[in-house]
Amino acid sequence: MHRFTPLRIALAVTTAAAVMGTGVAFAGGSSDAARPADTARPADAGRAAAPVAADVSGATELVQGFIVGYKSQAAEAKSNEAAVKDARAKAGKAGEPVSFERRLGTGAALVELPEADKVQDAQKVAAAFLADPDVAYVVPDRRVYATAVDPAEYSYQWDLYETTAGMNVPSAWEQATGKGVTVAVIDTGIAKHSELSAKVLPGYDFISGTWTANDGGGRDSDPSDAGDWLKAGECGKDKNGNPVPARDTNSTWHGTHVAGTIAAAANGSGTVGVAHEANIVPVRVLGRCGGTTSDIIDAITWASGGTVTDVPANKNPAAVINMSLGGKFTCDQAYNAALKGAADRGTTVVVAAGNDNKDAAAYSPAGCANVITVAASDREGNRAAYSNYGKVVDVTAPGGETAVRAADGIWSTLNTGTTTAVKENYASYQGTSMAAPHIAGLAALLKQKNPSLTPAQIEQTVKNNTRALPGTCSGGCGAGLSDADKALTAVTGG
């Protein structure tokens, strides 16, 4: 199972610590492991199986589920009854229990391996599906994490207006503020905050595992962040046998921080979002030990206006989706299908590049098609030391770097609770998780100014209207440092 984490790295809160930096959310690292009863925690996040062929040889992650894409003419592509029968047939061939779990929003089938306790078990199941001419692809259900990274209190939003490495946002507000545009934040959910409450529209909690959800149940219509605090070792062990996490961690309120960067109200208090009059649809996919690709795929589908079985229709389809999360595996067909579906429905998807100082092509969704992949810069305009890089990066935006000063991080909305939510506050985080929502906010501004812009046109406009990074970037930082005013000026009203 591929696990995702938030992509934040460090945080300076007026109390709480953050978790937005690794994995599917890119927070401070890529930790994965195995999980309790709701279907085991991941064991060494995101390292299983190559996509399509589902080659799990040499994998260190215990694969506990596969996403199976059937060819369109196959009965299993449309009939759950046929998919159930096929899972039983494959179980017989592999000699391992296999069960059909549910149909994803893309039409693919999620099958689980309830008794798989070693990599070879998954290999046999994958081989059975791949031998079937009616199967188009088989990929692991991976674990993903948030992508932020951690520092100290900071209340000055240099990222919006400083001439050196800010994004030139205040001038852009003369042309658009995001009014009437809906942005979905696919993340840890959201905590109540006075700067966000008036703009939050009904969302959904897509976490299917009870243990991961940490709110007493699985999927439901309440996307509130229940907290993602952990005891040392609760997510299993890494490939070297070390506990994940290495020490007790507090709740990160990652989704709340990301939402504030996008759309915090311009009310003279605390902070202000890039698109401060946009609306937010919170979509919860990350909980304890991250989240899974199968849940994220359904969240992408639903947030962009697609249909997901047994989930009420989204009455507020998003023009823009932000995903500050990721996992260390190359993009597979299951992920690509969901992202293409979102693009076809007219939704621009913005994702974090990741926080491992490596080529972003090896990470998902950073390396996928139909996304705007965002690297992070520091206050001097250098590529942030943690930020991933490479040819798949489209653009760079402020992500902060707090190694020297907490004031050099990204200031946004948060909560003081170390476990469950207590009261609202603000905090300074760093990470590509913080960079991505700057571009999601810019996409919302562009969409307000010209509602007819397609996702491809928004991406090209962002990339065509950057400026050179004033600092250094090795490895590739896309088109350059984003410039909001320049991008808005290039667009005529629709």
Whether the predicted pLDDT of 420 surpasses 50: yes
Q: At what angle do helices 432-449 and 254-263 cross, to 10 degrees?
A: 40
Query: What percent of the chain shows pLDDT beyond 70?
Result: 86
Task: Give the model confidence (pLDDT) of 191-239 as tens digits.
Answer: 999 999 999 999 999 999 999 999 998 999 999 999 999 999 999 998 8
Which of 363, 401, 356 lies closest to 24, judged by CA? 363
**Which residues make Cβ contacts (< 8 Å) with residue 140, sequence separation at least 6?**
1, 2, 48, 49, 54, 56, 61, 63, 65, 66, 67, 122, 293
Task: Give the model confidence (pLDDT) of 126-156 as tens digits.
Answer: 999 999 999 999 999 988 888 654 333 334 7
Q: Which phi and psi angles does 373 have, rounded to 5°? A: -95, 125
pLDDT at 145: 80
Do strands 2-13 and 424-430 pair parallel, antiparallel, or not at all (unpaired)? antiparallel
When computed from its CA atoms, the radius of gyration of the chain, rounded to whole angstroms, is 21
Q: Is 261 left (phi over 0), alpha (psi -120 to 50) or beta?
A: alpha
**pLDDT confidence bin for 36, thresholds 50/70/90:** very low
Task: Fill in the amino acid letter for 65.
Answer: G
pLDDT at 494: 61
CA distance linking residue 423 with residue 402, whole number of Å: 24
pLDDT at 256: 98
For residues 24 and 7, which has the higher predicted lDDT (pLDDT)? 7
Provide the CA 177 distance to its chain's centre, in angstroms. 24
Could you write out the DSSP letters of every residue in 160-219? HH-TTT---HHHHTTT---TT-EEEEEES-B---TTTGGGBPP-EE----HHHH-SSSSS
pLDDT at 5: 65
Structure-block tokens of residue 398: 């402020």
Q: What is the DSSP letter of 494?
A: -
Give the best-scoring range by mean pLDDT among 8-12, 56-60, 478-482: 478-482
Whether the predicted pLDDT of 249 surpasses 70: yes
HEC readout, 92-160: HHHCCCCEEEEECCCCCEEEECCCCCCHHHHHHHHHHHHCCCCEEEEEECEEEEEEEECCCCCCCCHHH
Average pLDDT of 29-43? 34
Task: Give the model confidence (pLDDT) of 362-417 as tens digits.
Answer: 999 999 999 999 999 999 999 999 999 999 999 999 999 988 788 899 999 999 99
- Residue 449's SS3 state is helix
**For the whole model, what pTM was predicted?**
0.84
- Residue 381's SS3 state is coil
Q: What is the strand order of the sheet 182-187 is part of? A: 204-205, 279-284, 182-187, 320-323, 348-352, 372-377, 395-398, 481-482, 466-467
Structure-block tokens of residue 293: 């690709």
- Helix, strand, coil percentages (3-state) for the chain, rounded to 5, are 25, 25, 55
Task: Give the model confidence (pLDDT) of 298-330 as tens digits.
Answer: 999 999 999 999 999 999 999 999 999 999 999
Whether the predicted pLDDT of 12 surpasses 70: no
Task: Report the length, in residues, of the chain.
Answer: 494
Q: Which residues are designated catalytic?
A: 187, 254, 433
Least confident of 14-23, 70-79, 354-363: 14-23
pLDDT at 153: 32
Q: Which phi and psi angles does 428 have, rounded to 5°? A: -105, 120
CA distance linking residue 76 with residue 60, whole number of Å: 30
Average pLDDT across the chain, whole number: 87
For residues 269 and 101, which has the higher predicted lDDT (pLDDT)? 101
